[in-house]
Amino acid sequence: MSVGSTTPESDQSLRGERYEVEIGPVAHGGHCVARHEGRVIFVRHGLPGERAVVEITDGGPTSRFLRGDVVEVLHASPDRITPACPVAGPGMCGGCDWQHATPAAQRRLKGDVVAEQLLRLGKVDVQVEVEAVDSPPGQPEGLGWRTRVQFAVDPATGRAGLRKHRSHDVQPIDACPIAAPGVEELGIEAHAWPGVASIEAVSATGSLDRAVTVVPAEGADGRMPIVELNRAVSVFRADDKGRVRKVHGRPAVREVAAGRTWKVSGGGFWQVHPAAADVLVEAVVEGLEPRPGDLALDLYCGVGLFAGALSERLADSDTIIGVESSRQAVEDAIHNLRDVPGARFEVGTVEKVLSRPGFLRRADIVVLDPPRAGAGKAVVERIARLTPRRVAYVACDPAALARDVAYFAGAGFKLRSLRSFDLFPNTHHIESVAILEPAPRAAKREGARGRR
């Protein structure tokens, strides 16, 4: 049923058209699926089972599908709640996808997404129950957890805010409810940032370290704006090639997790939820079941988190090798594990390092934590050639995980177990740890080869 329009942009666009629809199942990416006259609409701000009016935000008469926002709820789901943030709604901030759903409903939706992706892309039929993660002390469930926030700056006003959904436009904000208190205490939203394109704010876990990385706007004169933030903070500057240099303060932040203090230099990767490092380490170590004497491989190792955790289960003389493309991260990893004699690290892309002649002929256990795009077929096949006993795959994207699980299956590995964690509450993002091992036929071949 069509319920009118709000001035479509042109004859080739349906933007602004409004349709009354029944909202169907959740889909990957923070939206649900609805249909109007047979055409699929990917709908944000709705929930399965609702009857709602949807306004089209993207697509035209010949598009394969449309995108839209719920602008009026006619029959609400019992899982619907009022968002904690005043700009978590249609046409506003694109950061949070599910603030209108209860935390329990969010976990069910995310579990459905992981299961659907694994079935469709990985040909693996599993039920996925997403595990809740404790909120930071004193914070309501799902809020106050994000220790790293990427603010965008409106070039017209110089105000910091967050990007709108599928847009370069900036939504000004006074505060972000999912940001950690240490981020909000800096007061970034209250200051003007002339000549700046974006600011990443970091509030480290387990220490009082805070940092901001400033990215100049295109065409800026190169001078850093003088901004007096509300708390002591280290300042970094990133150039257009992604290189980061210290301007003021400490050269790194100190994160505390898994029984260690970790040096993470400016611009380096670290999980954004304060509980994430411990949660993921526990899942990886439990799944891999490392043994003394194992040769362990940590791919996309960053500053050495999983290598450090595995080293606690291995003897000092055992070998653990980390591979990471960022030279600065490798330098941090070497510093962080300087007390582990058997740890060494290689700089380079994982695919290239694994392809080096004579790099490794075998590995007993492997952990990989690739970027959102996943590892890919070439890396999976190179891991399989090392004939590991177990592989732990840490994934932040269900589609990439499912695709790579299919590649592992083609290389003779099966999915042994899967755990998923709600480490990004109120967003569609989810972190999973998949444990893979040689399928029975492949394992039998390996046993026969070992007896020769």
CA–CA separation, 284 vs 305, rounded Å? 11
Catalytic residue status for 176: no
Chain-centre distance of CA 233, in angstroms?
25
Tokens of 374: 């996943």
Answer yes or no: are the C-beta atoms of 258 and 271 closer than 8 Å: no
Helix (H) or strand (E) holding 215: strand 210-216
For residues 412, 396, 399, 432, the Cα torsion angle rounded to the nearest 10 degrees is 60
CA–CA separation, 174 vs 182, rounded Å? 15
Cα angle: 331, vertex 421, 260; to 5 degrees: 35
| Binding positions | 271, 300, 324, 369
DSSP SS3 for 407: helix
Edge-to-edge strands of the sheet including 320-324?
A: 130-131, 413-421, 431-438, 390-395, 365-368, 296-299, 320-324, 343-347
Q: How many residues does the chain have?
A: 452
Chain-centre distance of CA 389, in angstroms?
27
The residues that bridge with 67 in the sheet, in sequence order, are 42, 58
Other beta carbons within 10 Å of 243: 10
CA–CA separation, 418 vs 208, rounded Å? 34
Nearest to 306 by CA among 325, 320, 289: 320
Helix (H) or strand (E) holding 391: strand 390-395
CA–CA separation, 269 vs 263, rounded Å? 11
DSSP character at residue 288: H
Q: Which amino acid is at 164?
A: K
| Binding positions for S-adenosyl-L-methionine | 271, 300, 324, 369
* Positions marked active-site: 396
